[in-house]
Amino acid sequence: MNIPGGTAYIDGMSEFSWDLQQKPVELVSNGIKASFKTMWNRNTLYIFAYIFDSEKNKNDTVEIFIGANNPGTFEENLNYKLYFDQRDVQGADYSVTALDDGYIVEAAVTMHKNAVPGDIINFDIRITDADSGAVVSWNDPYNMQVHNPDRLGLATLQKRLNASCALYGTPIIDGEKDDVWDKSMELVTNAWIKGVKGAVAKVKTLWDENSLYVYAQVADEHLSKSSENPWEHDSVEIFIDYNNGKTEDYEFDDAQYRIDFDNVQSFGAGANAERITSAVKVIESGYIVEAAIAFDAVKPVDGILIGFDFIVNDDRNGDGTLDSIVSWNDGTGELYRNTSKFGILKLVDDETMIFTDIYDVAWAQRQIEFLASRGILRAVSGK
């Protein structure tokens, strides 16, 4: 199990930070039906659980078990037992929200110590229905975590996903920067897959009922396509996961597009020439790529999330081998086969956006500052 980075305000509401996470884990057994999501930040683990229960009881519980930050180290397992009636639990901040068909538990619980991406923790979650006595766990089918700590599963802590908003607008695909691009947010490629310096890009996105639009200004003073392989040319790559499935393999809606500085297109899994229109303009400092990629797997509407990432390839010395590769979100080099590594774009219809759940998140602060500088942001509120 992978747990992405992120933070949440504990109020029982599924705010944007929860929407960014992977699809919830489903638990169905012994007459209990539930689902949960997880995030982490520093020494805190966040849980958002939805339990279907028409007859709620004050003694209904959601238990969270956390072991060592790295298996093999000796640390006593932590056990947080969260009750429907919200009794105080040391080390846990949680809320319970009753619904007609069940209830939501949102919690922030303390881990043993500050963690970093790549750490592995022992973890399990156990749900008990007090009326029936039924119990279901994510990992331990025997629900014996208290008596046998070895029954906890393994969870890998991952870095926070980059996320941004694609505003509504329709540019002309000609390599020129139309006025409609001025309102769009700017993404920066700074996740190095190969090398630590080289060509980089500033990327903007827009959308309408037909296409996702991408405008990238690439800083690259030495253009090369010496290799016979298109993936080793100075080029950009666009990765799209229309249903934001965050799967470890490509699905029918996932695609990898490549465009070099001569506007020669090439394609990875799921992509083809019929879906993309592009234009490239070489400038003194590099080149500009403008592209439209058709929405053919989902209907684009305000508020949906799509998986997205962007790569810049650079053969700086012209020897036919890439000297650097840099992306917007992923630094592992797995984008061509693993959509769980993509960042996220939220399609937004209204130019005037109000943020209600942005806290100490670096990418959010950058986007807020950009929106304010363009006069797009009307208000910022938080809790």
For all residues of the chain together, what is the average pLDDT? 91
CA-wise closest residue to 52 among 33, 30, 26, 24: 33
- As a whole-number percent, the residues of the chain with pLDDT over 70 amount to 89
The yes-or-no verdict on residue 57 having pLDDT over 60 is yes
Specify the pLDDT at position 77: 86
Average pLDDT over residues 104-123: 95
Domains of the chain, first to last: 2-160 (2.60.40.1190), 163-351 (2.60.40.1190)
pTM of the model: 0.82
Helices and strands: H and E segment counts in the chain: 2, 26
User: Of the given ranges (8-17, 47-56, 104-113, 320-329), which has the lowest mean pLDDT?
Assistant: 8-17
The yes-or-no verdict on residue 356 having pLDDT over 90 is no
Specify the pLDDT at position 275: 97
Q: How far apart are CA 81 and CA 64, in angstroms?
A: 7
The yes-or-no verdict on residue 355 having pLDDT over 70 is no
CA-wise closest residue to 124 among 90, 105, 148: 148
User: What pLDDT, in 10s, does the model give residues 264-311?
Assistant: 999 999 999 999 999 999 999 999 999 999 998 899 999 999 999 999
Specify the pLDDT at position 370: 64
- As a whole-number percent, the residues of the chain with pLDDT over 90 amount to 79
The yes-or-no verdict on residue 71 having pLDDT over 70 is no
For residues 38 and 23, the model is more confident at 38
Average pLDDT over residues 177-202: 96
Specify the pLDDT at position 148: 81
Q: Which two tokens stand for residue 281?
A: 């303009």
Specify the pLDDT at position 280: 99
Specify the pLDDT at position 366: 63
Specify the pLDDT at position 369: 63
Average pLDDT over residues 115-137: 96
User: What pLDDT, in 10s, does the model give residues 7-31?
Assistant: 998 999 888 888 887 789 999 998 9
Specify the pLDDT at position 372: 61
| Residue 344 CB neighbours (<10 A) | 22
Q: Which two tokens stand for residue 383?
A: 């809790």
Hey, which bits of 200-253 come out as E strands? Answer: 200-207, 211-219, 235-241
User: What pLDDT, in 10s, does the model give residues 74-103?
Assistant: 567 899 999 999 999 999 999 999 999 999
The yes-or-no verdict on residue 344 having pLDDT over 80 is yes
299 Cβ contact list (under 8 Å, min separation 6): none
